[in-house]
DNA sequence: GACCAGGCACATC
DNA sequence: GATGTGCATGGT
């Protein structure tokens, strides 16, 4: 399985090159983006990010001091904006309660412990927590999302209804716990999902087509 | 107008 | 533990 996973990685990397993820200027921006992009296209999230930046509030203090009624219109473009307003607030409250609003302090927490704590914050599920850990704080945690599951399931590497933890375990049990590898790998899977897989039936041009049978 | 997009919480069985 | 539903905008 390790060989298979690395073969797929190499194929994707050859085909698409480094993806340079996550597109953000700060760790905090990654975290906000991770919440805003829940079941939402990144394009819609970008608009919200730009608005937050424009108002100068894309930082812990900024979000913390905004009223919900001020925050909501800024993130409207990202959809589910009432819920996401609450979720951003819950997250920032947690950041202040446990780490004095300091992202660096949060980064010093043991990753396993922090993951548990993040999952305890309302509005943060496994994918959002892991995105915060991997892309925000550079911890070696593999992020699983809809694309990851779809691709692996189509290539018969997992069952269609595999759980999040199950898919994550597949990567983390068989690859070295390398933050850079996990970062690039997941980003490549998303790119593949957004491009080739989106244009079914065009599996014949998929860069990883066929390799699963050689493993 | 239907369908989808880098999920999650909550109710119900 | 599995399944169903609400949440909402903007692009195709």
Q: What CATH class does A27-136 carry?
A: mainly alpha
CA→C1' distance for A29 and B13 (Å): 40
**What is the C-alpha separation between A128 and A32, in angstroms, rounded?**
10
CATH number of A2-20+142-214: 1.10.1670
A2-20+142-214 and A27-136 agree in CATH topology: no
CA→C1' distance for A9 and C10 (Å): 32
How far apart, in Å, are the Cα atoms of A139 and each of A41, A111, A192, A203, A210?
A: 25, 7, 23, 33, 32
How far apart, in Å, are the Cα atoms of A21 and each of A32, A64, A69, A118?
A: 15, 26, 31, 21
Using C1' positions and the CA of A44, the closest nucleotide is C10
pLDDT of residue A200: 56
Ranges of chain A with pLDDT below 50: 213-215
Query: Domain extents for chain A?
Result: 2-20+142-214, 27-136
CA→C1' distance for A97 and B2 (Å): 44
Region class of A95: left (phi > 0), else alpha (psi between -120 and 50), else beta: alpha
Q: Which residues of chain A (35-94) touch nucleic strand C at CB < 7 A?
A: 39-41, 43-44, 47, 76-77, 79-84
**Is the separation of the CB atoms in A128 and A97 below 8 Å?**
no
**What is the C-alpha separation between A123 and A126, in angstroms, rounded?**
10
Give A176-187 pLDDT, tens digit per residue.
999 999 999 999
């Amino acid at each position: 399985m390790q060989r298979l996973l690395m073969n797929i990685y190499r194929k994707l990397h050859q085909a698409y090159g480094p993806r340079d993820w996550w597109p953000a200027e700060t760790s905090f921006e990654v975290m906000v983006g991770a919440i805003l992009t829940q079941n939402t296209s990144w394009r819609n999230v970008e608009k919200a990010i730009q608005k937050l930046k424009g108002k100068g509030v894309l930082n812990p203090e900024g979000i913390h001091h905004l009223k919900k009624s001020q925050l909501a219109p800024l993130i409207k473009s990202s959809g589910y904006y009432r819920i996401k307003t609450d979720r951003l607030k819950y997250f920032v409250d947690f950041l202040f309660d446990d780490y004095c609003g300091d992202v660096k302090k949060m980064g010093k927490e043991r990753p396993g412990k922090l993951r548990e704590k993040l999952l305890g914050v309302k509005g943060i599920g496994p994918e959002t927590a892991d995105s915060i850990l991997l892309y925000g704080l550079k911890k070696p945690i593999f992020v699983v999302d809809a694309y990851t599951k779809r691709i692996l399931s189509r290539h018969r590497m997992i069952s269609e209804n595999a759980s999040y933890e199950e898919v994550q375990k597949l990567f983390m049990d068989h690859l070295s716990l390398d933050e850079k590898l996990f970062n690039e790998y997941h980003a490549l899977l998303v790119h593949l999902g957004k491009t080739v897989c989106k244009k079914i039936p065009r599996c014949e041009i998929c860069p990883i087509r066929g390799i699963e049978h050689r493993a």
